[in-house]
Structure 1
């Protein structure tokens, strides 16, 4: 999984400009590390399951990931939904055989100066026709805690030169997300946008 993340990151850097993966991969992403999480979602029993209303429940609330890249393998039950770019709709991510979901996390969102978006997503489970548990595997690939996250000028230049985020250390951001009651990983409203975005001074 680490090798896969490295290949994905080098492809992303190359898409920003010729030889950017040679210039920035080792210095910026060479010390990244990853960890697995096994997610198990079980729908609680309900006396009136036959009713059509309240047909689904939220297994994991709307949130953004605190990683650079997250790779997800969900089982055939599905349930993963991503908020559309306009912020209004939700898109179902349908499970496919031999396919993985790659999600941009908050750290890469900031490092790319917002050119890559850390999408809001959640897990929703349908009550009808569902038995047992829904499993998924998630691999989170992250900067080390001491890493200073700051978009290089060449990356910022692709956004007409407007810097969106101030510099911050990865560890400080993780502590911000984990220590704030309203900023826990399953909540939206306290993300890297709230933590490090430079306010419009006009």
Structure 2
């Protein structure tokens, strides 16, 4: 049974699911002779596919709770889900990808005019090699990792546009027509989906459906456009090299929109092995972040993941090159000053929270400062 099963009062139904999975695994092991439980655990590791229309269009609270339980179970067992029928039109996603692609094709001089400068702002263009995502919080260790194995990607970071303290960096309209309007609309669309998914999580954790509403309404989020340029095999062959190193995300949820190239891998919490999160057309990959894990006393998993190179295309007998890859990540966060402490339904009587309270800003800025500096 998963170790989190004893840490939250909402988990009796999860215990039954995990127990049935274990029984299925044992029977599979018996029927396959020498196959081990660890091997079968890998076979049964699946990111669940959730039909979110069953929640959005439910005619009763009981119907909503059924989908809510599936979502919470996915975050409990794996930390990731695929969401389909989520209400965001495909044309909206395609338009965001188109404008993102146009931005990254701008001359590097134009993009560097919008360079990322401050972890508290967390806005602007990040050139290839500037970021090195990792679980380490040691600035010196991260510096060594960046020098040895930088992340081969570039990104554009966009926050709430009405913030009076930190402003977004926008390209000139003549350089990137429609970029700003498209991204602001997409930011709002993603926030609205985030609210709905957090409502479903609240129900799944036996909280009031609106529990999180006033804790996420400031839209203290980050829209990250990502471009992974083509790269030769030899540049990815070094120790620890990846397009984006293994890491967890910082906030409540991440909504990830993938292209068809692939490369995202998720760590199996039971075996430690990384397994592909293969793109499924029309779906959004959603994972729980660190602050949601802290809020839930680790009932909901903030799972390690990374981006590796997809299959290479041969350009000679000895060399290959990866295809370009695009993705868009919407990092959902609680309000800037929200205090993140153990939820009442995620602590057994007499139990103690695993983590001390922390504010959203202090946690996220600390992680960003270590990652970029």
Structure 1: give runs of 5+ residues left out of the alignment.
186-202
Structure 1 residues 32 and 87: CA distance shift in structure 2, 3 A? farther
Deviation at 1:28, TM superposition (A): 3.0
- Residue equivalent to 2:197: 8
Q: Which residues of 2 match residues 92-111 of structure 1 at below 5 A?
A: 92-111=276-295
State the TM-score, normalized to the length of structure 2.
Answer: 0.43
* Higher fraction of strand: 1
- Residue equivalent to 2:358: 168
Q: Which runs of 4 or more aligned residues in structure 1 lie more than 6 Å from their structure 2 counterparts after TM superposition?
A: none
State the TM-score, normalized to the length of structure 1.
Answer: 0.76
How far apart in 1 are the matches of 2:228 and 2:302?
23
How far apart in 2 are the matches of 1:167 and 1:66?
15
How far apart in 2 are the matches of 1:131 and 1:27?
44
Check conservation: 2:310, 2:322, Cα contact below 8 A: no
1:20 pairs with 2:208: yes
Q: Which residues of 2 match residues 71-82 of structure 1 at below 5 A?
A: 71-82=255-266
How far apart in 2 are the matches of 1:98 and 1:164?
37
- Residue equivalent to 1:61: 245
- Provide Cα deviations, 1:2-59, integer angstroms capped at 9, x if missing partner: 1111111111110111x5223x22343333433311111123235799xxx88xx610
Deviation at 1:176, TM superposition (A): 1.9
Q: Which residues of 2 match residues 113-192 of structure 1 at below 5 A?
A: 113-129=297-313, 132-157=323-348, 161-180=351-370, 184=371
**Equivalences, count:** 175
Check conservation: 2:255, 2:329, Cα contact below 8 A: yes
1:44 pairs with 2:244: no
How far apart in 2 are the matches of 1:128 and 1:5?
35
How far apart in 2 are the matches of 1:25 and 1:47?
47
Deviation at 1:123, TM superposition (A): 0.2
- Provide Cα deviations, 1:179-199, integer angstroms capped at 9, x if missing partner: 33xxx27xxxxxxxxxxxxxx
Name the stretch that deviates more: 24-33 or 116-125: 24-33
